[in-house]
Amino acid sequence: MFLEQFPGEGRQNGWIEVICGSMFSGKTEELIRRMKRAQFANQKLVLFKPIIDDRYHTENVVSHQGSSLKAIPVSDSKEILDLWKNEKVVAIDEAQFFDEGIIDVCNELAKKGSRVILAGLDMDYKGVPFGPMPNLLSIAEYVTKVHAICVSCGNLAQYSHRTANETGQVLVGAVEKYQPLCRACYNKIAH
């Protein structure tokens, strides 16, 4: 369990936190929870999301459970630095959809003293590391892996099985296109 113990929290030191896991594991819910805690503490914060993620709302980050926070949609990682106004907490949802430049953006924000919180899928529907996520996991001070529940057997799920016929790596969707599966059930169904 993630204990959120940040030894340098009161200082100007920045750091990077990554919340990763499969679809329906609660990544966005955890991101919103951390943002609301920072908001309660009156910390200056900003939330970004990729412009292609318009599943629930075009300008809010919304979890599958319905929790929501206002966000700034951006089309690439460079926009984040352009729009950053010295916020102490910078959150980025659906990090897997960003270009590789997101790594430099996060490092720059942390260097300037921001707490950077990212949430994203660690693997795509084929079980392959997704976009910039492996590199983000490598540079993060704190990593939280969350799990869904396998819809087939009830064990912990770490795979996002695609039920739609599309084969491109990026397919924005929810329960109508994906289901969480454990390793054993994923290997039976997907391969």
Read off the tokens for 155.
């064990």
Which pairs count as long-range contacts for 123-128, CB under 8 Å and 24+ apart, including other chains?
123/22, 123/158, 123/159, 123/160, 124/96, 124/160, 124/169, 125/160, 125/161, 125/162, 125/169, 125/171, 125/178, 125/190, 126/169, 126/190, 127/159, 127/186, 127/190
176 catalytically annotated? no
Q: Which residues of 27-48 are buried (b: 16+ CB within 10 A; e: fewer)?
A: bbbbbbebbeebeeeeeebbbb
Residues 77 and 103: their CA atoms lie apart, in Å, by 9
Distances (CA, A) of 125 to 145, 168, 171, 183: 17, 10, 9, 12
DSSP state of 171: -
- Which one from 4, 59, 94, 141 is the annotated catalytic residue? 94
Catalytic residues: 94
